[in-house]
Amino acid sequence: MPAESPRIPSFRPRAVASVFQAIWSFVRHPRRSLRHWRLRRMTPEQVFNDIYRRNAWSSAESVSGLGSGLDQTIVIRRELPALVREFGWRSMLDLPCGDFHWMSHVELDLDYLGADIVDDLIQRNQARYAGPGRRFVRLDLLADPLPAVDVVLCRDCLVHFSHADVRRALANLCASGSRFLLTTTHVHAHGNRDIPTGAFWPLDLQAAPFLLPRPIRLIDERCTHRGSLGAKCLALWHMEDVVPRPATSAAA
């Protein structure tokens, strides 16, 4: 029998392109690439606990980051109580609530539940800020069942999620039975780049691959801090309007 010809390995052009893209990204941005490599090997709970303990968002005012300073929340601190009155909301889930720094300066006439994946923050908030109509619990937006409320405030959160985790978060929010979602989006951002959870990208929820409809209300926060590329806004949707598209149809 004739000897078999040596098998020539097959190469998939897309896989080869992906490898070269990763190498080129590392050459151009070695520190960012190493940081992303590390984030991809951590769970979301590990990621955000690590960010909290290192104050990795480098704010002297709030461990929740530069966007949680009082100078960056002037607009939303004025507009949020007006929204509560306009829509007649009686209950709110603030997830993630972070260190409750700017929110502690807002008067809200409703039952407030603050939640975060970082248990140390929850323990501190409960000790400092809990009272009648206000309490704090640990919740994982991606995995835990969420309570049904009139409105979920999810500010400065999805911008730190991978595309897959954004979809998981939206699906979990929809499953809660809550009525409205008030969340961060960036208008006129230049596309949605996928990132590892724990990094940052100025997410535009009306752009591909998420393609959410026009929100009921759009509040330009007029933020000036590093990272507020495009117009950083809080957008209000009926919860049934944020059901995530499957990844395949969203990419089509």
Q: What is the pLDDT of residue 14?
A: 55
CB atoms within 10 A of CB 7: 6
Domain encompassing residue 151: 66-251
Q: Does residue 43 lie in a domain region?
A: no
| CATH code of residue 237 | 3.40.50.150
Residue 85 lies in a domain: yes
Number of folded domains that form the chain: 1
Q: What is the pLDDT of residue 39?
A: 76
As beta bridge partners, residue 199 has 197
- Residue 236, H or E segment: strand 231-238
Q: How many CB atoms lie within 10 A of CB 137?
A: 17
Q: What is the pLDDT along the chain (252 residues), one digit of tens a residue?
A: 555 555 545 546 654 444 445 444 444 456 767 877 887 889 999 999 998 998 776 677 888 888 899 999 999 999 999 999 999 999 999 999 999 999 999 999 999 999 999 999 999 999 999 999 999 999 999 999 999 999 999 999 999 999 999 999 999 999 999 999 999 999 977 789 999 999 999 999 999 999 999 999 999 999 886 655 558 999 999 999 999 877 654 544
Beta carbons of 205 and 170 less than 8 angstroms apart: no
Whether 51 is in a domain gets the answer: no
Question: What is the 8-class DSSP label of residue 154?
Answer: E
Q: What is the pLDDT of residue 185?
A: 96
Q: At what angle do helices 119-129 and 44-54 cross, to 10 degrees?
A: 60
Cα end-to-end distance, the chain, whole Å: 50
Give a yes or no: residue 48 inside a domain. Answer: no
Question: Given this model, what pLDDT does residue 13 score?
Answer: 61
The letter for the amino acid at 27 is V
